[in-house]
Amino acid sequence: MISTAKVKQWSLEKGKRILKLLQFGAKTAKVAAPFGDDANPIKDMTAIYAETTVNGEPFVIGYVNTNQVAAVGEKRIFSLKEDGNSSTYIWLKNDKTIEIGGNADNAVRFLPLKTGISATDTAITAELAKIQAAFVTVGGVYAPGTISTDIDGSKIAEIKTL
């Protein structure tokens, strides 16, 4: 039988999440989830509780999501604060965009940005050489500095993109 129950507490025992639930009295159940998913529900979420054919081996097989905003064909992975408010998310949208925590700004491609900035540094250096030549022509002295913009520290090596 599959039914719903309210999550009251949770613990980890031997690497398995155990939920204490309220459903016609207090119960405990292990959490079943897709491979690679490790999520800890907030208190009072509605869990989908299922008995198994093994007596005393019930499982929580999911939760009732009360904050659904994804459109057709989209997937959103999110976390909640303990009070139930949104914390952050990754949203795979059906318009081929991905939002990571919001949509107020854009990510950039590091290598083309670095190439563009290096080309700008080279162009500025060339212009400074022209300025130096002009100063020398009129009898002045000007020593151009070296232009080098280092953006290597801004690269996030752990996040890859197209």
Tell me, what's the pLDDT at 7?
81
The whole-number average pLDDT for the span 15-38 is: 81
List the Cα angle 54/55/60 in 5-degree steps: 75
99 residue type, one letter: E
Tell me, what's the pLDDT at 126?
93
Tell me, what's the pLDDT at 12?
79
CA 22 to chain centre: 32
| Contact present, 7 and 41 (Cβ < 8 Å) | yes
The whole-number average pLDDT for the span 101-129 is: 92
Q: Which of 25-34, 104-113, 125-134, 147-156 comes out lowest in average pLDDT?
A: 25-34
Quick: pLDDT tens for 59-112: 888 888 887 889 999 999 999 999 989 899 999 999 999 999 999 888 888 999
Cβ burial 111-122 (10 Å sphere, 16+ → b, else e) = eeebeeeeeeee
* Averaged pLDDT score across all residues of the chain: 87
The whole-number average pLDDT for the span 116-123 is: 95
Tell me, what's the pLDDT at 44?
86
Selected residue with higher pLDDT from 9 and 119: 119
pTM of the entire predicted model? 0.68
The whole-number average pLDDT for the span 24-42 is: 84
What percentage of the chain has pLDDT greater than the value 70?
99
